[in-house]
Amino acid sequence: MSDTSRVVQIFLKRPMIRVALVLSVLSVLVASHLRITLSRLGDASSNLRVITQEAWPPDFSVVTDRASWAYPPCELQTDWMCSPAVVGMTQTLEIAFLATILGMVLSLPLAAASATNLAPPLMAQSIRQLLAALRVLPSLIWALIFVILVGIGPLAGVLAMTMYSVGYLGKLQYEALEGVSREPLEVARTMGLPRWQVARFFAIPEAANSLLSQMLFMFEYNVRHGSVVGLVGAGGIGWYMQYYLEPFKLYDRVLALIIVMYVVVIAIDQVSLRIRRRFIEDEPMRPKWKQVFLPWTDG
């Protein structure tokens, strides 16, 4: 046996190499099935050059000039406070806030009813299926549905994000509730308390840190996706981006809006991460709302 074939044999004996080879072959096959070719990437680079030329430098008049066409109308006197960036970002945050609160209120009872340690198996399985069905559609599709149902505007955004939040938060919450210690629940059951009281007074308080952390995570998620649902008319900064994209193709203004959104999302992520770390990683403690809104305080 030649040295080369011996090296190949030794090489193929390693499981990681075999797995990598199989995955590489599969990837090539899938790419060819999807008709993905490198020449298409060449076209993309020329399009990218055009967009870059038109988008750079970003036009920050979207932060300073009044958007007289804003919906709902902005009635403040200061122009920058009624600019597309400020109005759009504020709407996105408001949509995310409302959707997170509504999502939390609706998902918590559903999660308690689908946790196997709190609910009868049949009920738990049925509600899990409902939550899974809500997660099947991404928030963008929910937004399309609600734009058709209730028309263009923030209401469609709030409803779309709420539906997705219920499905997503519900799953995170029932997993958190199933992870609580068995003993407090047994104390409650020995007392003879009904299931809803076991959940309300024992399981939910025991899982409070995780539940609060998940709610903050959902708010972050909803802020990020608030821009996407706006693209189909469901309000928020995405709606203002769409206004500039079609039919005007004002890429410089869209880029400015993207930069504003990026800064806000990064700021929210950082604040949220800090708060969530306090709940999850630090010494376990009773969550205080003061720490949620004023994370820099010690109390």
Partner 1 sequence: MSEQILSVNSAAIGFDDAEPLIEGVELRLREGEIVGLTGRSGIGKTTLIRTCAGLIPPLSGSISFAGAPLAGKARGEVGLIPQRLGLIQHQTVGYNVLMGALPRAKWYQSAFSLPSAEMRESTRNAVEAVGLQDKILTSVNSLSGGQQRRVAIARAMVQSPKLVLADECLGELDAETAKGIINLLRDLANDGTSILIVDHNPVRARTFCDRVLQLRGKRLVELGDEEQDATPPLPVLRRPEQ
Judge residue 282's burial from the number of C-beta atoms within 10 Å of its C-beta, 0-12 exposed, 13-18 middle, 19 or more buried. exposed
Nearest to 91 by CA among 262, 200, 239: 239
What is the number of alpha carbons within 13 Å of residue 266 lying toward its C-beta? 6
Question: Quick one: which of 102, 152, 175, 205 contacts partner 1 (CB under 8 A)?
Answer: 205
Binders of partner 1 among 180-199, rule CB under 8 A?
Answer: 181, 183-193, 197
Nearest to 171 by CA among 115, 88, 222, 253: 115
Helices 38-55 and 251-280 meet at what angle, rounded to 10?
Answer: 100
Question: Quick one: which of 146, 202, 217, 239 contacts partner 1 (CB under 8 A)?
Answer: 202
Q: Give the DSSP per-residue string, 97-145.
A: HHHHHHHHHHHHHHHHHH-TTTS-HHHHHHHHHHHHHHHHS-HHHHHHH
Binders of partner 1 among 156-185, rule CB under 8 A?
Answer: 181, 183-185
Cβ 193 to partner 1 shortest distance, Å:
6
Closer residue to partner 1 in complex, CB, 209/272:
209
Q: Is 200 an interacting residue with respect to partner 1 (CB under 8 A)?
A: yes
Cβ 278 to partner 1 shortest distance, Å:
13
Respond yes or no on whether the N-terminal peptide bond of residue 287 is cis (omega within 30° of 0).
no
Cβ 198 to partner 1 shortest distance, Å:
10
Dmax (CA) for the chain in angstroms is: 85
Q: Is 109 an interacting residue with respect to partner 1 (CB under 8 A)?
A: no
Cβ 102 to partner 1 shortest distance, Å:
20
Binding residues with partner 1: total (CB under 8 A): 25
Binders of partner 1 among 236-295, rule CB under 8 A?
Answer: 283-287
Cβ 182 to partner 1 shortest distance, Å:
8
* Residues near partner 1 (CB under 8 A): 181, 183-193, 197, 200-202, 205-206, 208-209, 283-287
